[in-house]
Amino acid sequence: MFGPLEVESWVAGRRKGLQDVRGRVEEIIAAVRGRGDSALIEFARKYDASGMLPLRVEEDEFEAAYEEVEPELVEALLEAEARITRFHELQRPRDLWMQELEPGIVLGEKVTPLDRIGIYVPGRRAAYPSSVLMSAIPAKVAGVREICCCTPPPIHPLTLVALDVVGVKEVYRAGGAQAVAAMALGTASIRKVQKIVGPGNVYVTMAKILLREEAEIDFPAGPSEIGIIADETANPLFIAMDILAQAEHDPEAACILITTSEVLALSVKKDVERLVGGMERGEILRESLERSGYRLVRGMDEAVREMDRIAPEHLSIQVKDPLPVLQRIRHAGAIFIGPYSPVACGDYASGTNHVLPTAGYAQVYSGLDVMHFCKRITIQQLTQEGLEGIAGVVESLAEAEGLQAHAESVRVRIR
């Protein structure tokens, strides 16, 4: 169930899961493109027991949701919301800056938020109010005016409370690739968005990839994964629980331990196999553990090289001296250092974002942050003195490229 594996095959398996569903996702997108709301209702009838309910959630449903959620859970959501907001406010860029870089040449940048975005919140197997907070809060901090949400029916009351906490009231009962298609393409009920963010299964992730020409996306985000670098000083029980915590998300989730200690690896394997039987989501765990395992290496240099090839969504570093390892790591969605930094804290309430690139995409993408919802616009303001100082360079390069009007647009101003 959890044994030795090769990094190469592990990496290949993460991308293969996406490609396996590509054809089906293309069919779903074509159905939504052609039939809009009727396709959404058809898919809801097929996959969800409550498919006949209205697509849009009504205002009184948010109010009713509070009656079904324990007060302490509402308080937990509010505390998590405050922590996540506090961290993301630190990411907020200056709205406008301008600086004179040389006499008569002032350059700067103006940052503006997107107008309308869509968030996807997973459902069906469990409630994910944390994904509501993680997707909506950075957009709110950035200043996005309109946020809509799609999530599979039946929508858990806790998810509705989380949406109310962050002020997202445009919510639709739609899940899977069809929901992503509806937000990207637009339907009679769901207006088109500029960008789609949020985690999901392989169908959701592939839909996001295929629809990038219609709406920008954050990055491929899902199914979940964890990479762990550990030495002989690590606690095998802690590692086993970190593995199970990610494996229980989805049957397609995957976990990999890279370690210098065979004793540790075998202890983790023993703990994983001992604990999995007592877990509520045992079937999901066993399936995801089939694509999980460990890799023995000769030293930390090799461990870092192998982990950078993986570029995991979550990276846990549990070694005696973690700082040198942290400094050498180049590719990961989020990093958790030491035995007392479980990934679960980042999933819920430490404040960082849990919407992260998976399947090796952390080699080129950063996790979700405020800047995902902003655009940078450059600014320049030249005086006559500044123009005269740069005119020769502009004219020479424009003429070299055969663009006479470019050069003349400068000359007419300084003659």
pLDDT digits (tens, 9 = 90+) for 75-118: 999 999 999 999 999 999 999 999 999 999 999 999 999 999 99
- pLDDT tens column, 151-173: 999 999 999 999 999 999 999 99
**Confidence band of 1 (pLDDT split at 50, 70, 90):** confident
Report long-range pairs for 62-69 (Cβ below 8 Å, ≥24 apart). 62/160, 62/161, 62/163, 62/164, 62/169, 64/157, 65/157, 65/158, 65/160, 65/161, 65/164, 66/157, 66/161, 66/164, 68/157, 69/157, 69/158, 69/161
In the chain, helix, strand, coil percent, each to 5?
50, 20, 35
Give 161-214 pLDDT, tens digit per residue.
Answer: 999 999 999 999 999 999 999 999 999 999 999 999 999 999 999 999 999 999
Asked if the bond preceding 251 is cis, omega within 30° of 0, the reply is no
Span 226-258, pLDDT tens digits:
999 999 999 999 999 999 999 999 899 999 999
Q: Across residues 341-361, what is the average pLDDT?
A: 96
The tokens for 143 are 């200043």
CA atoms within 13 A of residue 166's CA, in its CB half-sphere: 36
The model's pTM: 0.93
Name the residues annotated as catalytic: 313-314
Task: For residue range 377-399, list pLDDT tens digits in order.
Answer: 999 999 999 999 999 999 999 99
Is residue 344 a contact partner of residue 209, using CB atoms and an 8 Å limit?
no
Q: Domains plus CATH for the chain?
A: 17-220 (3.40.50.1980), 223-354 (3.40.50.1980), 384-414 (no CATH)
pLDDT, position 49: 62
Looking at the predicted structure, is the pLDDT value of residue 51 above 70? Answer: no
Can you tell me the distance from the alpha carbon of 203 to that of 219, in angstroms, rounded to the nearest whole number? Answer: 14
Percentage of residues in the chain having pLDDT higher than 90:
88
Per-residue tokens: 277: 């039987």
- CB-based contact 288:256 (threshold 8 Å): no
pLDDT for the residue 274: 95
